[in-house]
Amino acid sequence: MKIRSVVLLTASLLAVCEVSVVAAQEADSADDGQLADADRAWIASRVYRGVELNFGHWDDVPGYDLPVEYREYLDRAMGAADRKGFSLATQEFVASLGNSHTYFSDRALYEHAGPSHGYTVRYLEGDWVVIRSRRPELSAGDVIVSVDEEPIDVFFDRNRRYLNTSTERYARRRLFFWNQRHLWPEAYTLGLADGRSVPIDGPAPQSSPLRPVVDGRWLEPDRVAYIRVGSWNDQEYQERAMELLEEFRSAEALIVDVRGNGGGSTPVPFISGLMDRPWRWYAEATPMRLAVFANMAEQGRDGYSDFRRPMMSWPASVEEPDSLFTGRLAILVDAGCHSACEDFTMPFKDNGRAVLVGEATAGSSGQPYYEDLGDGMRLAVGTKREFFPDGSRFEGVGIAPDLVVLPTAAEIRGGRDPELKRALEALQASD
């Protein structure tokens, strides 16, 4: 998620009639796993309203009939046996919009899920490859082929409808995220390509020491430096990245590694500090509704079709650099680079300041509209749509690297990093 100040002059077009259904917002129904019919209908109607008024990505789901999809969802939600069934039906409905910043969450799902997986997976050339693990019986480079004897591809396909993502490559990452743990059995067994079976039962031991979210080092003393940023989700991470940038500002070349960085807040000072030239921001748009014209459009009146789902848009802005580092620059990216990570990466792709190495990014950013549905339930709706500065599509596409490099399971198992190696070669070639 990107947090960036944009001054907009908009009119408030929505008057919400507050219905006195206090129990739906305040009563804790997680204990008995049930929701009254009135509560279900109230929550479902608010989800529908939130999507209808605020969703900014209809162009990505051509032919999507919201009333029809909602009616089918309502049958599943009202007929669900318990709260978990209701929440899964709601998660599926919201995920059907195919947007990584549009989701439904319910704390009751997470409370009864199993412990953290304790390992991280990348989908590489058809293989589900472990790239990090805190479980001693599971190592980097292991290839997962099954979950409780069900082929991993079948397991993924069966759960795909619950995964809110803008691209398939990011869906394969999100399957293993902590907030999808409720889709898995509480305890399960992984089947590996080498024939081993690895039970996942109970919490994984903590690494000692824990891997820092932001770290840096010299790859070649006083010449080539490396900064890894695993998340932009805390101001502390941005401050640490700036400290490292200051430490390495005299380097001839720098590699910034944002592989697996799921986002947070856009690191504008870090972007500007790495720039040696002006840089552009996204072009952006958000829904707006003019009720009388929308009504005419829905009636099929001539000349009003553009008002059915109009968007307010504004062009890309141009920013001046701070130029703290002016040496050669490479950025490592992959399908786990999402949201604010893509906000970080895009300007360098646009103005050619850095060479991007790795895999195309996740393909989703923008500030969601949030609504607290009560009792631990929350709706987020992707309400800002972003485009590359030239107006071309970003959502569902992502940022393509200049040099495509994907590691193999054997390289990961051997502790090799071909993406980093290729970035070093590219920087040396531009010397």
pLDDT beneath 70, residues of the chain: 1-32, 208
- C-alpha dihedral (110, 205, 216, 365), degrees to nearest 10: -10
What pLDDT does 32 receive? 57
The answer to whether 242 and 270 have CB atoms below 8 angstroms apart is yes
Q: Phi and psi (nearest 5°) for 88?
A: -65, -40
Q: How long, in residues, is the chain?
A: 431
User: b or e along 373-409 (b: 16 or more beta carbons within 10 Å of the residue's beta carbon)?
Assistant: bbbbbebbbbbbbbbbbeeeebbbbbbebbeebebeb
> ω before 278 within 30° of 0 (cis)?
no
What pLDDT does 297 receive? 80
Q: Is 217 exposed, middle or buried (0-12, 13-18, 19+ CB in 10 A)?
A: exposed
Strands 188-192 and 197-200: antiparallel
pLDDT digits (tens, 9 = 90+) for 16-26: 333 333 333 44
What pLDDT does 335 receive? 97
Q: Domains in the chain, start-ordered, CATH in brackets?
A: 119-200 (2.30.42.10), 214-281+316-363+398-429 (3.90.226.10)
What pLDDT does 404 receive? 98
The answer to whether 118 and 132 have CB atoms below 8 angstroms apart is no
What pLDDT does 389 receive? 97
